[in-house]
Amino acid sequence: MSAFAAVLRKDLRLELRSGESTIALLALSLLVMVVLVFALDASRVRGVDTASGALWVAMVFSGMLGAGRALLAERDNDCMRGLLLSPLDPATLYAAKLAATLIFMSVAEVGAVVLMVLFFNLEFNTALLRVAPILMLGALGFAAVATLLSAITGRTRAGDMLLPILAVPMFVPALIAGVKASGAALSGAPFAAMSDWLKIMIAFDVLFVSAGYLLFEHVVGQD
Amino acid sequence: MNNAIRTWLGVATLFLMLASLFMVFEYVPTEIDEGIVQRIFYFHVPLAWVAFVAFGLVAIAGVFYLWLGDQLWDDLGYASAEIGMVFCTLMLISGSLWAKPIWGTWWTWDSRLTTTFILWLLYGGYLMLRASAGDSPQVARFAAVVGIVAALDVPVIIASVRLWRTIHPAVLVTKQGGHGLEDPRMIATLLVSLTAFSALFAWLLMLRFSQVRTHSRLQALAERLAIAHAAAGDR
């Protein structure tokens, strides 16, 4: 069994037994949706654009608090040292943590989409299937940024407070593209209307996954 | 030697700044359409130029730090980020002062404004990270990684924001950045201002860099002293 699979399996097993990350992410998504329903004018008819915007707000806010979990779990009992001492490439560790975070975020996204349909009076139809890949690209980008940065912020005095301050501005391009593309997908626009946005998201994901993969060893090393 | 260069650079900056002020307020003709407020342009553009150079330098210093591991590069990145942040803030403020009479609003989500604002947020986060990590030994590596990643983000930000604003209906129909510098005196003023602000940046950077350098040398000495004391105590 490869090192990547070993770490990922460990994280998934931990998550299946405790449910900590996914439940927290789901609960946060629910709360963000509820807050948005109250914050936005209830008398006005809410369009598809508002719904897709709410979906992304939920992703960013729940992701900010939940995405670093997979890495922060290793901080207790100094498990990180153990992982680094094992014959495991830091880049592989990054990939495994990224995969775990992506899986947790995907579960939360499924919940968020269901909530969006219920709260914003949409229909359960095939348009939701078109949103799925866009959300996956967004979640991958966010997880890539958050996994790299939470390795940094977890070791500073401000701690987790600093993660959103660093991660959200970095995520802006994928956020703009994601909101626009999923709005177009939900309103049934042709693929051509979102292809430019998808290109930006793919560029963002490729850039940040490779940056994280290459730079991770510099942020986890012990001094 | 280093100090002498810095002193002369400071003197040169002073004279260039005075020349630039004279040209902006006395020499250059007033632009016909925008009037007197257009003169802020001769400060705004150099501020933007310096901010981008400074942020670029942060990323370059980050790469060299991770590659060579010399504390010098980290100090350079730190000094550059701080000065870049000051210039970026001044650029946003001067742009806002110009936008109010010309566009009728202090702020609009135009593509360039949005890009600059996001950069400002990014490097604000970078400086907060440095402040929060304090004197921990990892701070240099953390800052280098964040500086590099932030610079990698810039082209994607520009691409996405541009697409966002061109698809979105324009709130304000203006000739964005369309300062037709018809008069050669305008170009001369801009060039002098650019030189003056570049010199100011170089001077500030040298000053701040030597401060940061001294600080990290002192810290290294203090650490060695502590180790020596501990060793003496053991004996």
Closest-CA distance of chain A to residue B129, Å: 7
Instruction: Determine, for residues B142 and A152 on separate chains, whether the beta-carbon distance falls below 8 Å.
Output: yes
Closest-CA distance of chain B to residue A187, Å: 16
What residues of A are in contact with residue B138 (Cβ under 8 Å)?
Answer: 155, 219, 221, 223
The model's pLDDT over A103-138, given as tens digits with 9 standing for 90+, comes to 988 988 999 999 888 888 888 888 888 889 999 999
Query: Which three-class secondary structure state does DSSP give residue B115?
Result: helix
- B209 vs B151: CA distance, rounded Å: 21
> What does the H/E/C string look like for B26-46?
HHCCCECCCEHHHHHHHHHHH
- A105 vs A139: CA distance, rounded Å: 6
Smallest Cβ distance to B129: which of A148, A166, A173? A166
Count residue pairs from A and B with Cβ separation < 8 A. 96
Counting every residue written for chain A, the total comes to: 223
Instruction: Determine, for residues B66 and A218 on separate chains, whether the beta-carbon distance falls below 8 Å.
Output: yes
Q: Measuring CA to CA, how many Å separate B155 from each of A125, A135, A172, A194, B115?
A: 36, 22, 12, 19, 10
Look at residue B114 and tell me whether its pLDDT is greater than 50: yes
The model's pLDDT over A173-221, given as tens digits with 9 standing for 90+, comes to 999 999 989 988 888 878 888 888 899 999 999 999 999 999 998 888 7
What residues of B are in contact with residue A149 (Cβ under 8 Å)?
Answer: 146
Q: What is the pLDDT of residue A6?
A: 87
Instruction: Determine, for residues A200 and B163 on separate chains, whether the beta-carbon distance falls below 8 Å.
Output: yes
Average per-residue pLDDT for chain A: 85
Instruction: Determine, for residues A173 and B159 on separate chains, whether the beta-carbon distance falls below 8 Å.
Output: yes
Question: Where do the domains of chain B lie?
Answer: 2-234
- Which residue in chain B has the smallest CA separation from A214? B145
Q: What is the pLDDT of residue B166?
A: 63
Q: Measuring CA to CA, how many Å separate B214 from each of B8, B85, B208, B211, B234?
A: 21, 22, 10, 5, 30
Smallest Cβ distance to A215: which of B137, B148, B159? B148
- B82 vs B95: CA distance, rounded Å: 20
What residues of B are in contact with residue A174 (Cβ under 8 Å)?
Answer: 156, 160
Instruction: Determine, for residues B125 and A165 on separate chains, whether the beta-carbon distance falls below 8 Å.
Output: yes
Q: In chain B, which residues touch A (CB < 8 A)?
A: 66, 118, 121-122, 124-126, 128-129, 132-134, 136-138, 141-142, 144-146, 148-150, 152-153, 156-157, 159-161, 163-164, 167
The residue written with tokens 């996956």 in the block is A136
Q: What is the pLDDT of residue A223?
A: 53
Instruction: Determine, for residues A180 and B167 on separate chains, whether the beta-carbon distance falls below 8 Å.
Output: yes
Q: What is the pLDDT of residue B172?
A: 43
Q: Are B126 and A174 in contact (CB under 8 A)?
A: no
The model's pLDDT over A38-78, given as tens digits with 9 standing for 90+, comes to 888 666 666 777 888 889 999 998 888 777 777 777 777 77
Q: How many Cα neighbours within 13 Å face the side chain of B109?
A: 13
What residues of B are in contact with residue A219 (Cβ under 8 Å)?
Answer: 138, 141-142, 145
Triad A196, B175, B46: Cα angle to 5°: 95
What residues of A are in contact with residue B148 (Cβ under 8 Å)?
Answer: 211, 215
Task: State both tokens at A142.
Answer: 């966010």
The residue written with tokens 């490869």 in the block is A2
The model's pLDDT over B140-190, given as tens digits with 9 standing for 90+, comes to 888 999 999 999 888 888 888 888 876 554 444 444 444 456 678 888 888
What residues of A are in contact with residue B133 (Cβ under 8 Å)?
Answer: 155-157
Q: What is the pLDDT of residue A7?
A: 86
What residues of A are in contact with residue B151 (Cβ under 8 Å)?
Answer: none
- A66 vs A100: CA distance, rounded Å: 12
Mean pLDDT, residues A81-85: 81
Q: Are B91 and B51 in contact (CB under 8 A)?
A: yes
- Which residue in chain A has the smallest CA separation from B136? A156
The model's pLDDT over B28-78, given as tens digits with 9 standing for 90+, comes to 888 777 777 888 888 888 999 999 999 999 999 999 999 998 888 999 999
Taking alpha carbons only, the member of B195, B193, B140, B211 closest to residue B20 is B193
Q: Tell me whether residue B20 is exposed, middle or buried, using C-beta atoms within 10 angstroms of its C-beta: 0 to 12, 13 to 18, 19 or more.
A: buried
Assembly ipTM: 0.86
- B197 vs B192: CA distance, rounded Å: 9
DSSP B23: I
Smallest Cβ distance to B128: which of A165, A203, A223? A165
Q: What is the pLDDT of residue A140?
A: 94
Mutate which: A175, A176, A206, A219, vs B, most B CBs within 10 A:
A176
The model's pLDDT over B17-27, given as tens digits with 9 standing for 90+, comes to 999 888 888 88
